[in-house]
Structure 1
């Protein structure tokens, strides 16, 4: 993924979970730099954090060696996202009021990136008016939050205040990293503000029996990235997604489905909309019958499998009396890419078709090369990350509405 986070470890018993978070992020391909607060050193050591992160751990604003290697201003801007875990009541209060008394709070004040807080504290502290006001202030400025969870705490009390588990925090981090994590991006003009978009993503699964199903290799990455990019531009996005193994984006409303029929119903239920982007790799066929018990292997040869055609979601949206202003389809082809994509645009009667060659590792990979086919012509985008490709396509969608408004 080639992303990095700056992890600020606050002074709470949950600090030990932050070490597990570093390992979990490394497993997911995200590198971590660490700032360990003075309070944090009472619970975990710099050596532990350094061993797990593989990089220098920063502890002191007045450390001349650390400042010469990486000044605190550069440190505050060197990663894609800042994560505070555990985020104590004290850190939340200082961040909300712009206090910069140590390396951690100075970094939070100086950063140009968004911050994700994982609160951890006594339930009474968390529920206090002061803490809730501080959280509201930070959220208004663009901060993200994960947790806290409810449960028994180290102090013996029960309630909201336990830091979220490392894998849950990592899920939110991965989702956040799909979007624009700069404060400038957060404050940038939103050309799609007031527009509604529906995006489909991922594969569908067509059950044969309770154990087996028909599906494909779609990862959902491109659809998720497009949904996030449209949301970053201000659109209200419904993301209708088949089963995937990747983190869900933070901005869009997630509608989870499994089969093509469920996706068809969910898309039409979400209409009307201004924009429809059909990225999902929908199965063309499904078994005519689904058994409620596992089908056993018959003697003397393979079991017959009768297939029936699934609903054509893209075509049905184009024919709908609630047809969006802009309908964008995807043509994932392994050969004769341009010819098949041009024919599909005419056959489906959609406004744009995005052609891409999936004969390699595109469906499960990290990169994509798009060719956008419209009435006005064809535009080839360079091979780039799926996030970058999504942003490029979303900017073109925004430009379309700027031209037609």
Structure 2
């Protein structure tokens, strides 16, 4: 059931408007608390306005700030979302709050693990060459490649530095599928220190278990490299199931057009332009001209053409150490978009028509009006039957009356 107008506006501001000026944070309890938290010095927490808050909220905030960049709004936004879910448990059904609860759980789990590592998954369709690209970046033959499909049956991880065991345990990658890359001591290898690269099974595999593993790991990694080929770059399954729903995660997304060595002349540029057009239709912002967004480039993992550019971009991305925070921030944005309809009635204050009907039904049931109305209806039907009845019933009554003496 929708909340009151003031509560809906407060909930929306608390989740969506943290990056906005503080002047807009003046219309709700959650908003005021999140604003107060954002003003506190890093690593220090002020007195809790509500001593009855759950201990889990106090436990999570300092740990989240441990890997959230200074001045980032993610910490206050997670606090606001956590309190919003707590206040809404008695007002909204669990299915509506399930995704918000999952995001909060994943944020708490991620912040307990290494902040020095960035987990990047390589995903793609069957035959796109993602395993070849994985091996090319690692400098070693780690993931099997070949014509047999599917080739990759389980996620395989490659970590450039130690200390990533907890992250790989979270991804449920067993020790036998954890590898180390070949490091030649070059500047490119130094830039990749802290990278954890995961080669995923095919997202379009005929094996249902493979697709389930892809979906599970994609929900946990910090960033993803989508590998497409000239034949399947416009596949509807890729765009409708993954790229379009994850359009808000553009800042932690790489889209790589592989196998450009198979394209003659300027055909590679034409396919790359068409790929950018499709991503734009999906609603995914492109990181061009200094704007934040997805990184799109072309390469050939087989010949090595363009792999060096991807390795350089990955190195800068990993050294920023902000991928985890940006991924969680995008998750909060997605949750806020889903929850908006539960607190704001089509952008207008007050209750929507559907919410009014539900409220009237529940109110009538609570005060007993529904039972009283049903009893009155049954009585009315009995009286109407006695007074009128059907033509056959009236004929039977006349016949019975003729059989009685003295009539």
TM more than 0.5: no
Q: Which has the higher contact order (CA 8 A, sep 6+)?
A: 2
The structure with the greater share of residues assigned to strand is 1
- Give TM-score, length-normalised by structure 1: 0.30
- Give TM-score, length-normalised by structure 2: 0.29
The structure with the greater share of residues assigned to helix is 2
